[in-house]
Amino acid sequence: MKPVSKNQLKHQSSASQLRELTDPDESANPLPWYITMAMGALFMWGLFYISHAYMGVNSFEGDNRTMEVAAVAGAAGPAIDGGEVYQGKCVACHQANGGGVPGVFPPLAGSEYVLGKAEKLAAIPLHGIQGKLTVKGATYNGMMPVFADLLTDAEIAAVLTHIRSQWGNKAEAVTEETVKKVREATKSHTGPWNGDEDLSKL
């Protein structure tokens, strides 16, 4: 086999390089002048805004309420969402649809207690229930915990109002004042209510 000379190798290498495409090169492509001007204008506007903005505004006024409105809202306190209280304290037993758990936890949808006298209903979460309880013709013998020390009168009123307006229930709202009166009137009662026997007397 005839050996290949250096000149032949050099020629072949040059020919191979010529067949290859040139590597891409970004070169010097500056931003269009109008984009540069726009960025500069935004920067200058930002500096102007920061230098003239008043930074001492209370975060409570972030929605542009006046100090008078803010003061009233702060004194009254934020509205309590009964649905949130229900999700946090009640849904595990009575379920999201208010149907309860058959044979274990009674339903709230269509319940005689939920739709009945507001004072009797308010007494239930304040002291809880233990023993035989009849709801919609079915008998339950579980236990409902006491919420007197876990929820305020306003929270109890809110969650009771919530369950009286959900799942087809239609009953008047329960007020914080009603819960407060029931709490005071039943403060001497110790332990949970004995199901139907105690609740029938309220």
First to last CA, the chain: 117
- Tally Cβ neighbours within 10 Å of residue 56: 5
Domain range for 101 is: 82-199
pLDDT at 21: 63
Q: List the CATH number of the domain containing 93.
A: 1.10.760.10
In a domain, 9, yes or no: no
Q: Is the dihedral of CA 183, 186, 191, 193 positive or negative?
A: negative
User: d(Cα 23, Cα 145) in Å, to the nearest integer?
Assistant: 76
Q: With bands split at pLDDT 50, 70 and 90, how would you rate the model's confidence at 64?
A: very low
In a domain, 157, yes or no: yes
DSSP state of 129: E
pLDDT at 74: 44
DSSP state of 72: H
Question: By the 8 A CB rule, do 147 and 156 touch?
Answer: yes
- Two structure tokens written together for 15: 């020919």
pLDDT one-digit tens code per residue, 115-156: 999 999 999 999 999 999 999 999 999 889 999 999 999 999
- Two structure tokens written together for 29: 């492509």
Three-state DSSP state, 192: coil
User: d(Cα 74, Cα 151) in Å, to the nearest integer?
Assistant: 20
In a domain, 88, yes or no: yes
User: d(Cα 174, Cα 159) in Å, to the nearest integer?
Assistant: 9
pLDDT at 26: 59
In a domain, 63, yes or no: no
Question: By the 8 A CB rule, do 175 and 155 touch?
Answer: no
Please count the structural domains in the chain. Answer: 1
pLDDT at position 75 over 50: no
In a domain, 168, yes or no: yes
Which of the two residues, 100 and 28, has the higher pLDDT score?
100
In a domain, 10, yes or no: no
In a domain, 70, yes or no: no
In a domain, 62, yes or no: no
